Structure 1
Amino acid sequence: MIRYSGSPIIETSRLILRKLDQSDTLSVFNNWRSDERISRNRISPPHKTTGDTRIWLNHIFSQYDRKEFCYWGIELKSTGELIGEIDLDHFDTSTGNCEVSYSIGYQWWNQGYGTEALRAVVEFGFRYMNIHKISAKHNTDNPASGKVMRKAGMEQEGTVRHMILNYKNQYKDCAIYGLLQQDYQNDNNGEIYILKLNRFSE
């Protein structure tokens, strides 16, 4: 059974995963939500104005009081900059399975931040939420995201043709990845990525 606990603060060696708030509007807009290089790997279009970002953030804020809502901003410890987002969603209560997705601002690509955030959220899902399986997907023309998933211990399970239709009305094939809690426990060798978990950040 899934143990829902909302979006507590999660601290890793270089990152703080925390709830988004209204003061993040400009960072969210400037750092990834307005960037075509990020949006081309998403279904939704890039934000054209900060007003678009405020509307999107208000939707996020409205769900933070739900224990089933697991959505974090990714903040750099060293600078306090907000560089991306990551979430667990599509929970299936019958199987105990869910999905993870994430976005990192372009200027922070290839520095291991996506992998660090994903490893922490995977650990949180398995150790604290008792998730049975965590899945993820990426467009096949974005192989860098697959590298992040593999570094977090996920394995590619297949490819689905024309799985999504993006905002440019283009069909995209997606590579599907997954990781079972049992395999995570067997393969992780006791390595811990979460330095601190604040359960009272709700």
Structure 2
Amino acid sequence: MQHLPNSLETERLLIQRLKYEDAEEIFYAYASKLEATQFVSWPVHQSVADTNRYLRQAVPAWKAGSAYHYSIRTKAENRLIGSVGVVNDKGNIQLGYVMSPTVWNKGYATEAVKALIKQLIVLNGVYRIWTFVDVDNGASQKVLQKAGMIEEARLTKWFRFVNQNNQPRDCVLYRWPN
């Protein structure tokens, strides 16, 4: 798969390759907030040091082509409000995102996901774009549906979300309809 661009722009957002310097903003915007991280695969961060550890693997993954992680910033204030990214397994692309609770229900996640998918669908070698969400995460399901993804399956006891007592949870699998 070809590399993704370092930055994307939408009407309201600047979507930029994650940098080590983003650590403190990431921590305070969403990584330290249990409500924001309830449905992600990683534990809520207890300190900026946790966020720095994450960035030490996320930033080099870009160069290796195995994952592409972006910050999401508002154009108006240049404020970091979330992140969006993909894990690349030889063209099998898993999409993920997380947003600050302060900007929920404003369409930012949908806008960012649409912008990233627009880049992915034209890349050579991409044959599948997918993600899964907790069956109880209705807001995220709406984001994916508005971005054009379709439900592919309901998966029983599919994933253990670390911030939900690590209990197996039912999930919904979404994919890009190519």
TM-score by length of 1: 0.81
1:164 equivalent in alignment to 2:167: no
Aligned to 2:115: 120
Give the Cα separation in 1 of the matches to 2:125 and 2:115. Answer: 14
In structure 2, give the amino acid aligned to 1:42.
V
The 5 Å alignment of 1:40-189 reads 40-91=38-89, 93=90, 96-129=91-124, 131-167=126-162, 168-181=165-178
SS in 1 for 2:43: coil
Determine which structure has greater relative contact order: mean sequence separation of CA pairs < 8 Å that are 6+ residues apart, divided by chain length: 1
User: Cα offset for 1:6?
Assistant: 4.0
Identity across aligned pairs (percent)? 26
In structure 1, give the amino acid aligned to 2:51.
T
Give the Cα separation in 2 of the matches to 1:81 and 1:100. Answer: 22
User: Cα offset for 1:84?
Assistant: 0.8
Q: Contact 1:6 / 1:66 at 8 angstroms: preserved in 2? A: no
Unaligned runs of 5+ in 1: 182-202
Q: Contact 2:67 / 2:88 at 8 angstroms: preserved in 1? A: no
Q: Looking at CA atoms only, which structure, 1 or 2, has the larger radius of gyration?
A: 1
In structure 1, give the amino acid aligned to 2:61.
Q
User: Cα offset for 1:111?
Assistant: 0.3
User: Cα offset for 1:141?
Assistant: 1.1
User: Cα offset for 1:75?
Assistant: 1.1
Q: Contact 1:5 / 1:129 at 8 angstroms: preserved in 2? A: no
Q: CA RMSD in A?
A: 1.5
Moved more, 68-77 or 100-109: 68-77
The 5 Å alignment of 1:2-21 reads 3-21=1-19
Give the Cα separation in 1 of the matches to 2:124 and 2:17. Answer: 18
Give the Cα separation in 2 of the matches to 1:177 and 1:64. Answer: 24
In structure 2, give the amino acid aligned to 1:69.
A
Encode CA deviations 1:72-101: one digit per residue, 9 max, x unaligned: 11111110011111112142x3xx432111
User: Cα offset for 1:63?
Assistant: 2.1
Q: 1:42 to 1:35 in 2, by over 3 A?
A: same
Unaligned runs of 5+ in 2: none
TM-score by length of 2: 0.92
